[in-house]
Amino acid sequence: MSRGTLKRIRSACEALGLEDGVAERLDSYALLVVKWGQRVNLVGRPELEFVREQLILGSLQLLACGELKPESGRLVDIGSGAGIPAIPLAIVFPGLAVEAVERRRKRIAFMEHCRRELGLRNLTVSEQD
């Protein structure tokens, strides 16, 4: 398993001026996506490097423009699926109230598990069609 993508996540977090430990929390989330993805259809490819590269780094690209730096406020991710980008953004911005809206129970259960496991008090998961 390549560590190159994890190093790129760490470098991206550092370049964006994110707090220490954010890269590790993002990677913990990636590991949960892969673990649950073996049983529940969360993402197209539940492989660690794919999740790190396409989903985690992809979510961090939202921050690269420099416009998105909320200290507070609210973000709603409708059709959140596996929690992308809701969960990475909840990790990166602990002062931001993030709501992940999903209709599929298994994906809701996954996001609730992530909320508890990662201690994301700023994340709310809602079931809506």
pLDDT digit string, tens, across residues 5-49: 889 999 999 998 888 999 999 999 999 999 999 999 999 888 999
Right CATH number for 4-127 from 2.120.10.90, 2.40.30.170, 3.90.105.10, 3.40.50.150?
Answer: 3.40.50.150
Pseudo-torsion of CA 30, 125, 106, 13, nearest 10°? -10
% of the chain at pLDDT higher than 70: 95
pLDDT of residue 111 exceeding 90 = yes
Residue 83, amino acid: G
Share the mean pLDDT of the chain: 91
Could you identify the residue written with the tokens 């999903």?
102
Separation of alpha carbons 98 and 84, rounded Å: 12
pLDDT for 2: 59
Separation of alpha carbons 79 and 114, rounded Å: 16
pLDDT for 90: 96
Distances (CA, A) of 81 to 26, 44, 120, 128: 17, 11, 17, 12
Q: Domain ranges in the chain?
A: 4-127
Mean pLDDT, rounded, for 69-95: 91
Mean pLDDT, rounded, for 57-78: 81
Phi/psi region, residue 99 (left: phi>0; alpha: psi -120 to 50; beta: rest), is beta
pLDDT for 70: 73
pLDDT for 1: 44
pTM of the model: 0.91
Better-scored residue on pLDDT, 62 or 47:
47
Q: Please give the DSSP secondary-structure letter assigned to residue 96.
A: S
Report angle CA 77, 70, 125 to the nearest 5 degrees: 30
